[in-house]
Amino acid sequence: MTTAVKPSPVPVAAAGPIISVRGIHKVYGGSTVALKDINLDFNRGELTSLLGPSGCGKTTLLKIIAGLLQPSSGEVTVNGRPVTGPGPERAFVFQDFALMPWASVLRNAAFGLELQGMARADREARARHYIAEVGLSGFEEKYPHELSGGMRQRVGLARALCVEADVLLMDEPFSAVDEQTRRKFQEDLIRLRETEKKTFILVTHSIEEAVYLSDRIILLSPRPGRLNRIVTPAIDRSGSPDLIRRHPEYLDLIDEIWSGLKAYVE
């Protein structure tokens, strides 16, 4: 049974799957089964979290969708086309920032556009726009070593937004920052989702984060990772973040998910 908090007044962007995952298996080293028989659709314009105990294959599934890993069997399609590798319709936000230490914030943010061959003036104009969107105006000429961990992660997010992909794939993007910065990131991500109208897939270990951010939560069982259940936390995000986090039904949903997962935690 799925628990709902309160219907959201903001309609989800155009319905229908942008990504389809069919019969995905992933085996490492010939014997370690990481994922088994995963069948999922990811709807256009939604934010979906992949949640489950350590070792359940969340990041493996995300990297298969990104085209960074090949499945042992099964198929992923994006906009109806099979995934055979990375593609311009998908952008990946790494857990460890993955910035070039010798490059400025501006060049780091524009790097994907540089690889695409976009003219310097055009790519820098777009990069400046997204640097502002993630709250880093004034830091364009700074270098990664001059930034906090939270600021470096914002550069990674700006870089992913710059390429204007349909899908943003995020592998625990807030895990390396403190709790206060993490909460601010969560609120910024909700705002970006509404303004950018993109599809987000987020790997997280945090039940609270998944419930707070997601249109849907995909719960995976321990290795081999299988689809356990899908939870739809319909949260009204028009109120203040503090009110949302204190809402009894929000807290009840967190407890419900934890009750289902704690048997898998050693």
Q: How far apart are CA 187 and CA 204, in angstroms?
A: 16
Q: Per-residue pLDDT for the chain (266 aa), expressed as one digit of tens each?
A: 444 444 333 334 445 799 999 999 999 987 889 999 999 999 999 999 999 988 899 999 999 999 999 999 999 999 999 999 999 899 998 877 778 999 999 999 999 999 989 999 999 999 999 999 888 999 999 999 999 888 888 898 899 999 889 999 999 887 767 788 888 888 888 888 888 889 999 999 899 999 999 999 999 998 888 999 999 987 777 778 888 888 888 899 999 999 888 776 65
Record the pTM.
Answer: 0.86
CATH of 17-89+167-264, one of 3.40.50.300, 2.30.33.40, 3.30.70.100, 3.40.50.2300: 3.40.50.300
Q: How far apart are CA 254 and CA 256, in angstroms?
A: 5
Question: In this predicted structure, what is the pLDDT of residue 6?
Answer: 41
**Domain definitions of the chain by residue range:** 17-89+167-264, 101-164
What's the order of all strands across the beta sheet hosting 81-82?
A: 32-43, 17-28, 73-78, 81-82
